[in-house]
Chain A
Amino acid sequence: MIKGYMGKFLYIDLTKEEVREIPLPQWMAEKYIGGKGFGAKILYDFLPAGTDPLAPENIIMFMTGPLTGTAAPSMRACVVTKSPLTGTFLDSYFGGHFGPEIKYAGYDGLIITGKAARPVYLWINDGEVAIKPASQLWGRDALEVNAAIKEELGDDTVKVVSIGPAGENGVRYALINCEYNRQAGRGGTGAVMGSKNLKAIALRGSRQVRIEDTDTFKEAIEKANAELKESPDVQALVETGTASAVPFANETGLLPRRNYKDGTYESANKLSDIGQSKHLWLKSAACMGCPIRCSKMGVVRTGKYAGTISDIVEYESAALIGSNLEIEDIRAVAYLVKLCDRLGLDSMSAGSAIAFAMEACEKGLIDPPEDIKLEFGSVEAAEYLIKAITFREGSLGQLLAEGVKRAAEKLKGGAEEFAVHVKGLESPAWGPRGVPGMGLVLMTADRGGCHQRGFPVAYEAGGEKWNGKPVEPLGLEGKAEMVAQLQNYLAGTDTLVKCDFGGFGVQPATYARLLTAATGRTVGEDLFDHVGERIWNLTRLFNLREGIDYTQDRLPARFVNEPLPSGPNKGHRITEDDMKFLRTDYYKVRGWDEKGVPTGATLDRLGMQDNDKFKL
């Protein structure tokens, strides 16, 4: 067995109640490393085209990487499945303590398929697997379930992932809570668990993650930690997490307001690290083995929502539940985000769906529910909708539980004009009208509208140099190459599985040293670009096989048709011609044909035409 790995996956078929171990093939460790790579390869090889994401046949995986659960700083794990929201490949990352515990229990990943006859949870204890009844937990919120399972098992050190009622009810953007304050948030992972009658997974393990060359590994860790200390971006996260991105996004005109209509908000500081320090934060906290400690744990002390224990309201939630809904009271935002966590909703998609409903009501396309003023700024309306969506209550709850893409298709009447999504995934809180490179990232991200598959904002609006040269913010030239390189590198390091924040500081050569020392296989710093490009082509092939083609590599209508009303890039939009230029350039850079299909030559170059298939 290669060190760093545990050497096997755990496969569970809930329909047949079959449990077995599958050895990790050496070629897979070498070609796909871990995390996203393993997930992409298994999903592509295993899942027949056209599988309904909420059918028993879909698979849901919890994947680690060779550095997960070691002392290498800032590592995570990921959930990979076919998304019920977008129909695309879906990978969603989470920190905390559950990921490492997968390895301590003896596995590189969990692969789950089928559907249990009735609600169950999995109890995986050092290689022993029990499928346990969960009828008593069904209907309860995700955090209650976490506590209840620990009590039932008589051990509060057990690590638990759980879904809330939203996942049970098949809300297409339901999430999985991964221990407290960490979520596999995007794309509906929780709905897939719910469709399998799987309420939770509990883990305990006493195996060790072994390292090939411990001395060199410790030296590389020291280097990585030094790089984290030297990075101003990382130090900003140490101080204020992502909350200080609120004023940055506001100043650069990228902060969504009123369902992305605008890009600035005069109350931004109330939602930022300033407002959060005043009303919430008590201390910093970290995921296992991470010196960045971007968590800011706290509690709402005053007002209507006093007593709400809250982690930092990270940037995406602060923007999408805050400024995007024009809710400026951070205490209310913390409460609403926590409510999403408990009920098991992605607060990003939920925020977007609520904003969509508020605008639809403003435009007279939907009627407000009785006694509710469905308008921007209303905390009551937001709270009402979060609950209605979770329980699919009434026509409005049903409509919005499907996501804004399906909701707009159903509503018609021009609703598509303000349904802000890419491929069905509600856009992140980075309106791209002043940053076209970011626009291209959203257009081409494998899981739909996502900001974590590349972040050119740092270069386009943050003043960082790209390959030693300043970047023209509004320019289109060269953006495709930058985006493809960023995507490749991030996908490559999503195999380790690194946290994006660690990646702001830790350099490619250091990741390569960590991986070399852990596994004993000598790798160079360019490995991640190569493996990342391979993965990026594989997820593209998956999406194409699902019928998601180049016509969906586009931005929401709002960013194309409506000029930005305020901020430094006031008046700017990304036109159809801009999108066409970016797309064409991007396909060329990627070695894809004019319809965005990887060419045979490209697949040959990446070593993807071989017969290595993962078999269950």
Chain B
Amino acid sequence: MACSEKQSGGYNPRLALLKIRHINEGLIHEPVVCRQCSNSYCQTVCPVNAVERDDETGAVLIDRNKCTGCGLCAKYCYFGVIRLSNEEKKAEKCDLCGGSPACVRECPTGALELVYSGGGDNND
């Protein structure tokens, strides 16, 4: 909900970059979101170097100005969390909202946290 509102200005989880998959009659609910991989395929396959890591937040970001909408990043993302926007045909992914994710801020139960592996804030 929070993510879709951030993305689109209205509510619809289909427009969110964080998805929940419902499996086996609802016995399992699996959150699926970009893991900001340290070996990020999206970054490696991008032919125009539009994908870069933000040193401050650790997020892997897509530069919309450079992106040509070729879709290779989405194709090779193992978790399927990159999509092409409908209007502009630009690749979109979770950017950790600049370091303070809306999903974490607005989660009513505190189930979500932003954690950097290795401790510290974003050393790795």
Let me know if B11 and A69 touch, CB within 8 A: yes
Binary A-proximity of B1-44 (CB < 8 A = 1, otherwise 0) = 11011001111111100000010111101000000000000000
Chain A-chain B contacts (Cβ-Cβ < 8 Å), number? 70
Nearest chain A CB to B82 CB, angstrom units: 17
Given contacts A143-B25, A208-B9, A211-B11, list 10 more A-B pairs with CB under 8 A.
Answer: A73-B108, A180-B25, A180-B26, A206-B14, A208-B10, A282-B27, A285-B26, A293-B109, A297-B27, A299-B27
Q: A180-B25, A218-B106, A282-B27 are in contact. Are A288 and B13 (CB under 8 A)?
A: yes
Let me know if B9 and A210 touch, CB within 8 A: yes
Q: What are the residues of chain B within 8 A of A208 when measuring CB–CB?
A: 4, 8-12, 15
Nearest chain A CB to B10 CB, angstrom units: 2
CB within 8 A of A104: which of B14, B25, B108, B109?
B14
Cα(A71)–Cα(B108), bound, Å? 10
The dominant DSSP class at the A interface is loop
Q: What are the residues of chain A within 8 A of B5 when measuring CB–CB?
A: 71, 214
Q: What are the residues of chain B within 8 A of A288 when measuring CB–CB?
A: 1, 13
CB within 8 A of A309: which of B27, B29, B108?
B27
Q: What are the residues of chain A within 8 A of B8 when measuring CB–CB?
A: 208
A543 at the interface (CB under 8 A from B): no
Q: A71-B1, A289-B1 are in contact. Are A206 and B25 (CB under 8 A)?
A: no
Let me know if A104 and B26 touch, CB within 8 A: no
Let me know if B108 and A210 touch, CB within 8 A: no
Let me know if B12 and A207 touch, CB within 8 A: yes
Nearest chain A CB to B104 CB, angstrom units: 14
> In this complex, what residue of B is CB-closest to A218?
B106
Q: What are the residues of chain A within 8 A of B27 when measuring CB–CB?
A: 282-283, 297-299, 309
Q: A285-B29, A297-B26 are in contact. Are A209 and B108 (CB under 8 A)?
A: no
A510 at the interface (CB under 8 A from B): no
Cα(A70)–Cα(B25), bound, Å? 24
Let me know if A209 and B10 touch, CB within 8 A: yes
Nearest chain B CB to A613 CB, angstrom units: 32
Q: What are the residues of chain B within 8 A of A70 when measuring CB–CB?
A: 1, 11
Let me know if A210 and B14 touch, CB within 8 A: no
Let me know if B12 and A291 touch, CB within 8 A: no
Q: What are the residues of chain B within 8 A of A297 when measuring CB–CB?
A: 26-27
Q: What are the residues of chain A within 8 A of B106 when measuring CB–CB?
A: 71, 218, 221
Cα(A120)–Cα(B106), bound, Å? 41
Let me know if B2 and A209 touch, CB within 8 A: no
A169 at the interface (CB under 8 A from B): no
Binary B-proximity of A128-163 (CB < 8 A = 1, otherwise 0) = 000000000000000100000000000001000000
Q: What are the residues of chain A within 8 A of B15 when measuring CB–CB?
A: 206, 208
A311 at the interface (CB under 8 A from B): yes
Instruction: Count contacts on A: residues with CB < 8 A to the other chain.
Output: 37
Binary B-proximity of A174-189 (CB < 8 A = 1, otherwise 0) = 0000011100000000
A256 at the interface (CB under 8 A from B): no
Q: What are the residues of chain A within 8 A of B109 when measuring CB–CB?
A: 291, 293
Cα(A158)–Cα(B79), bound, Å? 20
A205 at the interface (CB under 8 A from B): yes
Cα(A218)–Cα(B8), bound, Å? 16
Give 10 pairs: A residue, B residue, CB < 8 Å, sorted on A: A70-B1, A73-B108, A104-B14, A180-B22, A180-B25, A205-B12, A211-B10, A214-B5, A282-B27, A298-B27
A390 at the interface (CB under 8 A from B): no
Q: What are the residues of chain B within 8 A of A295 when measuring CB–CB?
A: 26
> In this complex, what residue of A is CB-closest to B1?
A71
Nearest chain A CB to B86 CB, angstrom units: 8
Binary B-proximity of A192-229 (CB < 8 A = 1, otherwise 0) = 00000000000001111111001000100100010010
Nearest chain B CB to A98 CB, angstrom units: 12
Let me know if A225 and B108 touch, CB within 8 A: yes
Q: What are the residues of chain B within 8 A of A309 when measuring CB–CB?
A: 24-25, 27
> In this complex, what residue of B is CB-closest to A146?
B25
Cα(A181)–Cα(B29), bound, Å? 13
Binary A-proximity of B76-97 (CB < 8 A = 1, otherwise 0) = 0000000000000000000000
> In this complex, what residue of B is CB-closest to A206?
B14
Cα(A519)–Cα(B106), bound, Å? 21
Let me know if A69 and B26 touch, CB within 8 A: no
Let me know if A181 and B12 touch, CB within 8 A: no
Nearest chain B CB to A388 CB, angstrom units: 26
Cα(A590)–Cα(B26), bound, Å? 43
Let me know if A205 and B25 touch, CB within 8 A: no
Nearest chain A CB to B11 CB, angstrom units: 4
Q: A70-B1, A289-B1 are in contact. Are A210 and B10 (CB under 8 A)?
A: yes
Indicate the member of B9, B15, B22, B109 with the most A CB atoms within 10 Å: B109
Q: What are the residues of chain A within 8 A of B11 when measuring CB–CB?
A: 69-71, 208-209, 211
Q: What are the residues of chain A within 8 A of B10 when measuring CB–CB?
A: 207-211
Q: What are the residues of chain B within 8 A of A69 when measuring CB–CB?
A: 11-12
Query: Which chain A residues numbered 291 to 348 have a C-beta less than 8 Å away from chain B?
Result: 291, 293, 295, 297-299, 309, 311
Nearest chain A CB to B36 CB, angstrom units: 24
Q: Which 5 A-B pairs have the closest CB atoms?
A: A208-B10, A291-B108, A71-B1, A225-B108, A210-B10
Q: What are the residues of chain A within 8 A of B12 when measuring CB–CB?
A: 69, 100, 104, 205-209
Nearest chain A CB to B24 CB, angstrom units: 7
Cα(A104)–Cα(B4), bound, Å? 12
Nearest chain B CB to A154 CB, angstrom units: 16
Q: What are the residues of chain B within 8 A of A207 when measuring CB–CB?
A: 10, 12
Nearest chain B CB to A44 CB, angstrom units: 31
Binary B-proximity of A98-111 (CB < 8 A = 1, otherwise 0) = 00100010000000
Cα(A477)–Cα(B87), bound, Å? 64
> In this complex, what residue of B is CB-closest to A291?
B108
Cα(A208)–Cα(B22), bound, Å? 21
Cα(A288)–Cα(B24), bound, Å? 17
